[in-house]
Amino acid sequence: MVVRIEPSILSADFSAFAAAIARIPSADAVHCDVMDNHFVPNLTFGLPMVQRLAQVSALPLDVHLMIDDPDRWAPGYAEAGAQTVTFHAEAAREPIATARSIRQAGARAGIALKPGTGAAPYLAAIEEFDQILVMTVEPGFGGQQFMREMMVKVAEVRRAVAGRDVWIQVDGGIGESTIRIAAEAGADVFVAGSAVFGADDPDAAITALRALAAGTAPS
């Protein structure tokens, strides 16, 4: 299994994003949480910030849209330079059309599932997505406790992938005590916020998390 670690910029210093990204050279991507204070009760940043991050980041951007009306807005994030744009199933009116629009704009298309959202309706059209994000907390805020019961859903998605080039991402409460649990369930992309940017050496934290997910370090 290829392990991908994506630090969440939401846990970095908002006044020094470029410097924060420079401290994580071994990361596979920078995870950007876009929140609109409507779909979730929190407000972060939007398209202009992602455009700027794409200009200053040496790493790919994985944009997680926690917003209303992603059908309208998601393709613009692909056009801004994101490698992956993930939108929430619960907010999309036409998820397959939106995924196709993201791909047409040049990015990988991901769909995110809140803890209470079943995977089955979306797994039936799994070839339309490049990534499935299983939320392991309720979306909206960092620092929440990992929901171990979501590993059943991760395993369900892993079975459905069945050799396809579809990444399985987990987001929420990922750290040294939880990343191996998620990896064993079938996840291969891990979003970590405070576990990386809260460390004295963020890049060393990435190395440690990668080893734990790969099963090459003690848990």
28 tagged catalytic: no
Check if the beta carbon of residue 88 is closer than 8 Å to that of residue 112. Answer: yes
33 tagged catalytic: yes
Reading across the β-sheet that carries 30-35, which strands appear in turn? 4-7, 189-192, 167-171, 131-135, 108-113, 84-88, 61-66, 30-35
| Candidate list 28, 33, 36, 130, residue with the active-site label | 33
3-class DSSP state for residue 14? coil
- Please report, as a single letter, which amino acid is at residue 187: A
Residues 133 and 88: their CA atoms lie apart, in Å, by 9
3-class DSSP state for residue 86? strand
| Candidate list 28, 36, 130, 171, residue with the active-site label | 171
The candidate with the shortest Cα–Cα distance to 18, out of 62, 65, 54, is: 54
Catalytic residues: 33, 171
